[in-house]
C-alpha cells in the first residue's frame, strides 16, 4: 500500500514555510481471516451461500515516527450469489 497526502504539506525552513514534496508513505498490510458459511443447496456448487467472516489486519509502518503500527478488525456478514453465465452450450 502506498498513501499520499490529500492536501498541500509545508516544511519550515530558514524562517519561513515552503511547500514540501510528497513522496508518500509505503506500508505493508498483512491480514488473517476466518470464514464460516452455509450453502443453501448443498448439492449445487453455484448455490447461494450466507457467510460470516472475521478479519484482522495491520498496517506497518502506519505513521513513521508517531504511530508505528495500526491494527484493524472487520466483521463481514453477507450473502454470495453466483450470476448465471451464458456459455453458448
Q: How confident is the model at residue 84 (pLDDT cuts 50, 70, 90)?
A: confident
pTM recorded for the entire structure = 0.62
Q: Which residues pair with 50 in a beta bridge?
A: 38, 79
Domain ranges of the chain: 27-80
pLDDT exceeds 70 at position 89: no
Contact 3, 28 (CB under 8 A): no
Phi-psi region of 63 (alpha: psi -120 to 50; beta: other; left: phi over 0): beta
Q: What is the pLDDT of residues 37-73, one digit of tens each?
A: 999 999 988 899 999 999 999 999 887 788 889 999 9
Amino acid at each position: 500500500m502506498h498513501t499520499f497526502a490529500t492536501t498541500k504539506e509545508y516544511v519550515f525552513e530558514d524562517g519561513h514555510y515552503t511547500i514540501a514534496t510528497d513522496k508518500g508513505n509505503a506500508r505493508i498490510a498483512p491480514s488473517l481471516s476466518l470464514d464460516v458459511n452455509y450453502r443453501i443447496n448443498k448439492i449445487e456448487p453455484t448455490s447461494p451461500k450466507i457467510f460470516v467472516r472475521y478479519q484482522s489486519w495491520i498496517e506497518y509502518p502506519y505513521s513513521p515516527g508517531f504511530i508505528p503500527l495500526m491494527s484493524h478488525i472487520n466483521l463481514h456478514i453477507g450473502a454470495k450469489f453466483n450470476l448465471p453465465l451464458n456459455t453458448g452450450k
